Structure 1
Amino acid sequence: MTPSLRLAQQPEADALLSRSPLAALVGMLLDQQVPMEWAFSGPHTIARRLGDDDLDAHRIAACEPEAFAGLLAAKPAVHRYPGAMAKRVQQLCQYLVEHYDGDAQAVWRDAASGAELLKRLHELPGFGRQKAQIFLALLGKQLGVTPEGWREAAGPYGEEGAHRSAADITGPESLAKVRAHKQELKRAAKQTPAGRRGRAAGNG
């Protein structure tokens, strides 16, 4: 049975995320400096603007860069920084074509352990360690990808019952809990000496 992700909070966009491993990866890539729902609705917007029902790594990798950036920048823009993110999406797809024949699911299909899977995700363009751990947690918690040691490899994002990231969102209620957790982290950061210095400098 196809898993049902609810990260975009839009039925058609979530349906694409649920059936397309590449769409899920691209959504995770876009999930920075914009609301999560905006990021994860991006793959559906890209597919629609390409005239497809799905995303194809080979096609995106082969797009003329300026044209692809224009596709992401068209209103409503796919991201706050459409030019930079268009480049990252193409780099991700080019990497998948080179290393996995364009098959996004191959990144995790035969991973023997959580540590190996984390390494593979971390090697993807645009996936720092934290993003790789969050996506690993999403794979384990919602997509049934559970190689040995996956929770440990995902770090705090793999904890059962947590509400830390996209990996824990299954609907509006859990989205609100994750958002509240992130806001609490921001408040805590502002209370640190470094945070107070930064605010003072900004007010100067």
Structure 2
Amino acid sequence: MTSRTLHLTGNPEADELLAADGNALLLGMVLDQQVPMEKAFAGPAVLAERMGTPGRIDVPGIAFMNADEFAELCARRPAVHRFPGAMAKRLQGVCQALVERYDGSAVELWSTADSGEELLRRIGDLPGFGAQKAAIFVALLGKQYDVTPPGWREAAGKYGESDSRRSVADVVDARSLDEVRATKKAVKAAAKASATD
């Protein structure tokens, strides 16, 4: 068991799974879209429980499960995500990529990356990871998961800055969560204001 502590869900057991299981952390990041961060990162614990593997994510089990059955598992109330069908496909795609390329292990994905640039590329090659999400995940790995290949901060861009409060990578407690929310709100307001100019 790892000694790292994460504070992403408000649920100690869900946070413990994220800290101990790199696959759970990666799948939480997949789910971190159009739902509150806490719900997204609690999703892996819900999946593990529903699959009968509490305490770990069964990547091959997800990768090879019948797609309709997995979609039903994700949609079961309370649904794992606001869009359970679309996210079920994305989660299965990520698990399939992990099985095909990294022996079913997200840790293998990042522990064998020689540089931040390679880490960013590997993450960006996964289903559902655009440039911004990949950069945020590099920052999360570096800041909270001790994954720091050379150049990781540069690869993470603005999200890698040590004093930022821009993303999930910077959430370490309730106060920092509030600060990240405030930053996101300000960015959205600025974008909306510039769009109407």
- CA deviation profile, 1:164-195 (whole Å, cap 9, x unmatched): 00000001110000000000011111111xx3
Q: Which residue does 2:183 correspond to in 1?
A: 181
Q: After TM superposition, what 4+ stretches of structure 1 lie above 2 angstroms from structure 2?
A: none
- Please give the TM-score of this superposition, normalised by the length of structure 1: 0.93
Q: Counterparts of 2:27 and 2:105 in 1: how far apart (Å)?
A: 13
Q: Counterparts of 1:196 and 1:77 in 2: how far apart (Å)?
A: 36
Larger of the two Rg values belongs to structure: 1
Task: Give the one of 101, 113, 131 matched to 2:133.
Answer: 131
Task: Give the one of 91, 94, 109 matched to 2:93.
Answer: 91
The 5 Å alignment of 1:116-195 reads 116-192=118-194, 195=195
8 Å CA contact 1:73, 1:83 repeated in 2 = yes
State the secondary structure of the residue aligned to 2:15.
helix
Q: Counterparts of 1:114 and 1:104 in 2: how far apart (Å)?
A: 15
Aligned partner of 1:14: which letter? D
State the secondary structure of the residue aligned to 1:47.
helix
8 Å CA contact 1:9, 1:171 repeated in 2 = no
Aligned partner of 1:51: which letter? G
Q: Is the aligned partner of 1:196 residue 2:157?
A: no
Q: Counterparts of 1:159 and 1:19 in 2: how far apart (Å)?
A: 25
Task: Give the one of 24, 48, 58 matched to 1:56.
Answer: 58
Which stretches in structure 2 are left out of the alignment for 5+ residues? none
Q: Counterparts of 1:6 and 1:162 in 2: how far apart (Å)?
A: 17
The 5 Å alignment of 1:61-76 reads 61-76=63-78
Q: Is the aligned partner of 1:3 residue 2:4?
A: yes
- Shift, 1:3, TM fit: 1.3
Which stretches in structure 1 are left out of the alignment for 5+ residues? 198-204
Percent sequence identity over matched residues?
55
- Shift, 1:7, TM fit: 0.8
Aligned partner of 1:46: which letter? L
The 5 Å alignment of 1:21-32 reads 21-32=22-33
Q: Which residue does 2:116 correspond to in 1?
A: 114
Aligned partner of 2:186: which letter? E
Q: CA RMSD in A?
A: 1.0
